[in-house]
Structure 1
Amino acid sequence: MYEFELVKPSTLQDAVAALKGEDAQALGGGQTLLPTMKARLAMTETLVALSGIDEIRGICTDDDGRICIGGGTTHAEVQKGCADSYPALASLAGRIGDPAVRARGTIGGSLANNDPSACYPAGALASNATIVTNDREIAAGDFFQGMFTTALEEGEIVTEVKFPVPERAAYEKFIQPASRFPLVAAFVAKFSDGVRVAITGASSDGVFRWTEAEKALASDWSENAVRSLAAPDAGGMISDLHGDGAYRAHLVGVMTARAVKAAG
């Protein structure tokens, strides 16, 4: 690790001001950023820690019935706080990494990083969530823009995520044992006006909606509706030592079918 300055603001206003400094980077739970810095893949001079800002932590329900989760809320807190109100999201949070990661990592940090194998992007996209920042609100469909790329502007902070609660939902992932990231994972959500299916871990462009499965499940909510579909095009899938593109494309169907079964 190299030398850097650590700023620890206690208010959102102070954090936004600190991020206007030269080469300043927001620090959530640090579960991705700090290892990246240790490997010198990032050379940030100033870290602005968000962990001390109480106003971006916590879970509540708004007037529209959406589950509103502060961007600084940890995975462990989401697991506990959404167990009754949104069990599928709680299940997703409870299987991220290990207990140490869940105690430090935050939902805002995960979404802002948009790792192509992260869990939360699938939950947010399938739920049609709204990502709230210090400046604006962004629909999940507009927020994720490719591998490690989002709609966030420089210095913009994820302050809250608003999740509509579907009639049925489930998240199933094929875990890569070493990292605990999903090799492929599917989040399915059935709303009164349709079905949304989001896939993570598979595509080199990051999280995406599997529209063919959505159409099939809208008319027949069953495992068979998914199993009868052709696998997505393997050309855009991640291919590495853990599995090639064709294998991941096959897993997309398998994990989606399992999620539908789990959702009931």
Structure 2
Amino acid sequence: MGHRHGHRRAARSGGDPARKPAGLAGLLSLLVLGPAAMQGPLPSNNTTHVHVFQQTRLADVTVLGRGRPVPGWRPSRLNARYHQALHLARAVLDDASPEHGPGGLRTQGFLLDMNRLFEDFVTAALRDALHGTYHTVRFQDGHHLDEAAAIRLRPDLVLYGPDGSPCAVADAKYKTEKRNGCPETDLYQMLAYCTALGLGAGHLVYAKGEAPHAAHRVRHAGPVIHQHALDLEQEPAALLADVEEVAQRMTVD
């Protein structure tokens, strides 16, 4: 891993860039960019504020190629502010994780709302999969179950056709589907969505299940409630392919 040196970099860092430890920028880039930093250079056509800021700050970073050894670094007073970040980055590169007990690695704990994280992933992935289908995707779009508009509904995703009318609805559930099917409360919720939107089908997306797909037709000519189970342990490409299958079913129903 190399590092280009220049006067502008020296002025910004407040010190001699030649005295920076080898691999410092690369290890920090992993913390900022995540696994994408291992795949290749940042896309030059990304115009979002976050990525533009990252590209500017990491303009002098050389990407660490897959399979290459991680460069070493030496603690010093010049890089003292980065010590904790570098130790954490090295733990990530070594595929390690902190545990309670004696040791020299200091980390800060945080909690993730997995329900929200899974919901955001599923809805965003479905939106991307439905791009170019002449449909409009809306997240958490407000509707009402009753004519008096007293009972509010907020499905995770509603798909609208070219004429602006609802044509599909989906809800993500970060839970494991039961052996005898999805929880009854989820079915009732989806039935309410389908009834309020006037749809003949609804889609429940789970984090894991017994089968990739199953369906339940409500009695007396009611809607069909589909349940989809995603395997989150598979490779990203395979996971996104499964999401595309869900999107295809949504446009067919």
Fold match by TM threshold 0.5: no
Q: What range is the shorter-chain TM-score in?
A: under 0.3
Hey, which of these two has a bigger chunk of strand by percent? 1
Q: Which one has more relative contact order, counting CA pairs under 8 Å at least 6 apart? A: 1
TM-score for the superposition, normalised by structure 2? 0.23
Q: Which has the larger radius of gyration?
A: 2
